[in-house]
């Protein structure tokens, strides 16, 4: 694959600062697995893939306006998914403990 240049990308965005912001956000999405690549990966690093996507017009400034999911909602969703996978059972609050807790002397 030919090398991607800043000039290839600048025709798609307003300025270099915006290019840095767009490419870094997109590269992070690719790195963390939050989004799939829109171009063939060709064993390239996420930053190169992000720049290729920008140069091809597949990613633009709208990525900066997209709001990420709030951390609390993500954490709750992860807990729900974990509980479902583990087959979590709600304990009976009236049930007797299985054994006596050990004292400090034992």
Residue-range domain boundaries for the chain: 6-86
Is the alpha carbon torsion for 29, 78, 87, 98 positive or negative?
positive
What does the pLDDT read at residue 2? Answer: 63
Q: Do residues 53 and 13 touch, judged by C-beta distance below 8 A?
A: no
Q: What is the phi-psi region of residue 42: left when phi exceeds 0, alpha when psi lies from -120 to 50, beta otherwise?
A: left
pLDDT in 10s for each residue of the chain, 106 residues: 568 888 889 999 989 999 999 999 999 999 987 788 999 988 899 999 999 999 999 999 998 887 766 666 667 777 878 877 776 444 445 656 666 666 666 5
Going from the C-alpha of 59 to that of each of 15, 56, 64, 76, the distances in angstroms are 15, 8, 10, 30
What does the pLDDT read at residue 77? Answer: 76
CA pair distance 65, 7, nearest whole angstrom: 24
Residues 6+ apart with CB under 8 A from 58: 38, 39
What does the pLDDT read at residue 85? Answer: 74
CA pair distance 87, 89, nearest whole angstrom: 6
What does the pLDDT read at residue 88? Answer: 45
CATH number assigned to the domain with residue range 6-86, chosen from the 4 options 3.30.565.10, 3.40.50.2000, 2.115.10.20, 3.90.940.10: 3.90.940.10
What does the pLDDT read at residue 57? Answer: 92
């Amino acid at each position: 694959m030919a090398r991607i240049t800043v000039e290839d990308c600048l025709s798609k965005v307003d300025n270099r600062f915006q290019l840095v912001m767009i490419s870094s956000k997109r590269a992070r999405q690719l790195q963390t697995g939050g989004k799939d690549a829109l171009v063939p990966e060709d064993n390239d690093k996420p930053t190169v893939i992000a720049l290729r996507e920008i140069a091809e017009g597949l990613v633009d400034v709208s990525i900066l306006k997209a709001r990420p999911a709030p951390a609390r909602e993500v954490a709750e969703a992860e807990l729900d998914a974990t509980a479902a996978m583990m087959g979590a059972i709600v304990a009976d609050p009236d049930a007797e403990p299985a054994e006596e807790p050990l004292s400090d002397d034992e």
